[in-house]
Amino acid sequence: MNRSSIGCTVVAAMALVCMSAGGGPPGPASGSTSDLEKELTSGDPNAQSNPWLRLATERERVILGLLRLAQTGTPKVKGRAIEMLGNYRASEAAPLLVENLETSYGGSFGSFPDPLMHSSAAKALLEIGEPGIRELLWGRVCKPMTESELKTAAIVVRLHYARTGEQEVGLFRMQRLLEQERAKAKSDPHADANLSPSTRERNLKRLIEVY
C-alpha cells in the first residue's frame, strides 16, 4: 500500500465500521489525505513520528472493527468487511477467513477464477499472502474439509505461488508437510498401524491431488 493511498484506505474502512454500527460517516481523524501525506514525508523526524503512530493506532482499531463486522454483520456487510481485511493484508484475520472459504456474500471479483469469484474469504487470503497460506496448511487442514473447500484451498495456494512463477514450490511444500505428518504417525509408539490416516494427512493428500 503506497503512501498516497494510506489515508483513503483508513477513511474508507472507518466509514464502513461506523456506518455499519448505525452511525454516520466518520469525520476526518487527522486532517485531509494530502495533509497526512505531507506529515508522513516530512524531512523532520519529529514531525513524522506522530502521524505514523496515529496510523498504527487507527489500523489496529479499524481491523478490530472489521473483524467484528465479519462475524456479526449482515451478509453484505460481512462480505465488505472481509474484502477490506484483505485490502489491509490483515494477518490477524487469517483464522477467521480459513473457516469461511465456502461462504458467499455476493461479492464480485472481476477476473479471479471460480471459485474465488464467489468467495470473499478466499480472495482475502490471497491478498494477505504468506500468513494466510500458513493458516491454511498448518491450521485449517487439521479439521474436516469438504471437497469444495479443498479445491478452493488448492486454488488459493497455487495462485499465491503463481505470482512469482513458483507453483512447484507450493507443491513441494505440501508434499513435505505430508511426509512429516506420516513420519510423525509412524514414530508414535502408541499409534495403531491399522488406524486410518489423520484428518491432516487426508486433507494434505487431497490438496496435492487437486493442486
pLDDT digits (tens, 9 = 90+) for 117-171: 678 999 999 999 999 999 999 999 999 999 999 999 999 999 999 999 999 999 9
Is there a single domain that holds both residue 200 and residue 97?
yes
82 inside domain: no
Q: Is the pLDDT of residue 26 over 50?
A: no
In angstroms, rounded to a whole number, what is the distance separating the alpha carbons of residues 38 and 84?
A: 25
In a domain, 208, yes or no: yes
118 lies in the same domain as 19: no
CB 64 within 8 A of CB 27: no
Q: Look at residue 14 in the predicted model and tell me its pLDDT.
A: 56
Q: Please state whether the predicted TM-score (pTM) of the whole model is above 0.85.
A: no
**Looking at the structure, do residues 63 and 130 belong to the same domain, yes or no?**
no
Exposed/middle/buried for residue 204 (C-beta within 10 Å: 0-12, 13-18, 19+): buried
Are 102 and 204 part of one and the same domain? Answer: yes
122 and 172: one domain? yes
Residue 167 lies in a domain: yes
169 with 210, same domain: the answer is: yes
Q: Is 86 a domain residue?
A: no
Domain that holds residue 52: 1-72
Residue that finishes a domain, picked among 24, 43, 72: 72
- Indicate whether 105 and 187 sit together in one domain: yes
How far is CA 73 from each of CA 14, 22, 66, 76, 140, rounded to the nearest angstrom?
15, 11, 10, 8, 23
Cell of 179: 511426509
**Residue pLDDT, tens place only, 64-120:** 999 999 999 998 899 999 999 999 999 999 999 999 998 776 554 445 555 566 789
Q: Based on the domain organization, do 114 and 189 belong to the same domain?
A: yes
**Chain segment 32-62, per-residue pLDDT in tens:** 556 656 666 766 666 556 767 777 888 999 9
CA distance 97 to 109: 16
* Look-up of cell digits 460481512: 78
User: What per-residue confidence (pLDDT) applies to 47?
Assistant: 57
Position 64 in a domain: yes
Residue 77 maps to a domain? no
Structural domain includes residue 80: no
Sorted by sequence, the CB contacts under 8 Å of residue 9 that are 6+ apart come out as 1, 87, 88
Q: Which of 127, 74, 124 is nearest to 99 (CA)?
A: 124
Same domain flag for 68 and 96? no
Indicate if 147 and 205 belong to the same structural domain. yes
Pair 104, 67 in one domain: no
- Phi, psi of 44, deg, nearest 5: -90, 115
Same domain, 100 and 66: no
Residue 58 included in any domain: yes
How many domains is the chain partitioned into structurally?
2
